[in-house]
């Protein structure tokens, strides 16, 4: 059984964004699944960039694909083979908006059926030039900054599933340095198993 010191050490590792070895797992699956995840073949990893400027505006891109041409969405796309999540997010933002993006924290992870995952990063613009209609290509028509109100009420969206992500990004960016969670980025470490650890953090008042 883990002691308080062991748990404290593990929490410090997590907060410092360093790898934590797993010696054993108390789950024994009598029917192991033969599924092997292969990027773009058997599993779809989506990387998404959520950028908010000093005016609290969100970076949006206008779709060029025939199925949703003219609709607006967050810059996002499929991860390429042998590409890290961070590299994929930077590439998608650059291709679809023209801006260079430095991811600073992983804002959200979503999954469906175990074969579709979306990783949403937020960070800052480090360079580039906002794509205009004259520069449209197969990736996107153009990119613009929009207020959250405009996105919700006026902009024709490809899908409304990004509204939750935008609200999440707003809450994160509106926190001050003391209240904002520390940066959290994916680690690149070899592994043979996938283990999800659940942490429950309770915020108690001084009286309770």
- In the prediction, which pLDDT does 21 show? 63
For each of the domains in the chain, give its residue range(s) and CATH number, in order of start: 36-174 (3.90.79.10)
pLDDT of residue 42: 87
DSSP string, 12-38: HHHHTT--------S---SS-------
pLDDT, averaged per 10 consecutive residues of the chain (208 residues), comes to: 68 70 54 74 94 97 97 97 95 98 96 91 98 97 98 96 96 90 82 63 66
On whether the CB atoms of residues 118 and 79 are closer than 8 A, the answer is no
pLDDT of residue 205: 66
Q: What pLDDT shows up at residue 37?
A: 80
Q: Which two tokens stand for residue 105?
A: 């924290």
CB 56 within 8 A of CB 140: no
């Amino acid at each position: 059984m883990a002691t308080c010191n062991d748990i404290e050490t593990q929490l410090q590792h997590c907060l410092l964004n360093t790898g934590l070895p797993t010696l054993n797992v108390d789950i024994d699956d009598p029917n192991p699944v033969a599924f092997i995840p292969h990027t773009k073949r058997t599993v779809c990893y989506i990387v998404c960039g959520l950028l908010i400027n000093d005016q609290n505006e969100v970076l949006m891109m206008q779709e060029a694909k025939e199925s949703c041409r003219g609709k607006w969405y967050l810059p996002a796309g499929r991860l390429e083979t042998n590409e890290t999540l961070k590299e994929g997010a930077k590439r998608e933002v650059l291709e679809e908006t023209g801006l260079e993006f430095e991811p600073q924290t992983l804002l959200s992870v979503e999954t469906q059926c175990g074969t579709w995952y979306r990783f949403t990063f937020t960070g800052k613009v480090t360079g580039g030039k906002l794509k205009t209609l004259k520069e449209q290509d197969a990736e996107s028509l153009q990119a613009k900054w929009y207020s959250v109100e405009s996105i919700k009420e006026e902009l024709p969206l490809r899908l409304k599933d990004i509204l939750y992500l935008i609200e999440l990004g707003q809450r994160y960016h509106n926190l001050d340095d003391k209240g904002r969670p520390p940066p959290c980025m994916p680690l690149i470490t070899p592994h043979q198993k996938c283990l999800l650890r659940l942490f429950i953090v309770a915020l108690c008042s001084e009286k309770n």
